[in-house]
């Protein structure tokens, strides 16, 4: 179970890389055109700001890589770190709506699992 959840966290980090490579024009992806807007086109932030936001997506990706690895190696700090990563990710995915809409329920599930799971004993299966 621990390794499966670690893989899910790392995979979620990989998904965040799209938010980095498109604004930085490193890759062109079908269905993910380069744009300088947030919140479904309601806020145009321009080229420079969208690249800064792309760096935030990269930071979220790295945070999920660290979360998955810290869980896999049973670091005691992984639950609060992962809560912070998922909350940060949730803000990014909302700002990227609708392109990033799939991340919203994933982040919500991670948050619910970690915030409620400790009190319900769900984390004991992971050794916490």
Q: What is the pLDDT of residues 29-70, one digit of tens each?
A: 888 889 999 999 999 999 999 999 999 999 999 999 999 999
With beta carbons less than 8 A apart as the criterion, state whether 3 and 72 touch: yes
| Residue ranges making up the domain that contains 83 | 2-126
β-pairing, 37-38 with 43-44?
A: antiparallel
With beta carbons less than 8 A apart as the criterion, state whether 98 and 88 touch: no
Q: Specify the number of domains making up the chain.
A: 1
pTM here is 0.91
Q: What is the pLDDT of residues 1-37, one digit of tens each?
A: 889 999 999 999 999 999 999 999 999 888 888 999 9
Q: What are the phi and psi torsion angles at 22 (to 5°)?
A: -75, -50
d(CA 85, CA 9): 10
């Amino acid at each position: 179970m621990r390794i499966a959840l670690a893989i899910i966290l790392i995979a979620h980090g990989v998904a965040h890389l799209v938010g980095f490579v498109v604004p930085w024009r490193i890759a062109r992806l079908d269905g993910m055109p380069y744009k300088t807007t947030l919140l479904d086109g309601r806020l145009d932030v321009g080229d420079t700001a969208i690249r800064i936001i792309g760096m935030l997506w990269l930071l979220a990706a790295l945070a999920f890589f660290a979360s998955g690895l810290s869980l896999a190696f049973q670091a005691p700090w992984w639950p609060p770190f992962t809560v912070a990563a998922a909350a940060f990710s949730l803000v990014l995915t909302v700002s990227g709506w609708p392109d990033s809409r799939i991340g919203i329920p994933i982040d919500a599930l991670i948050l619910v699992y970690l915030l409620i799971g400790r009190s319900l004993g769900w984390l004991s299966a992971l050794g916490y």
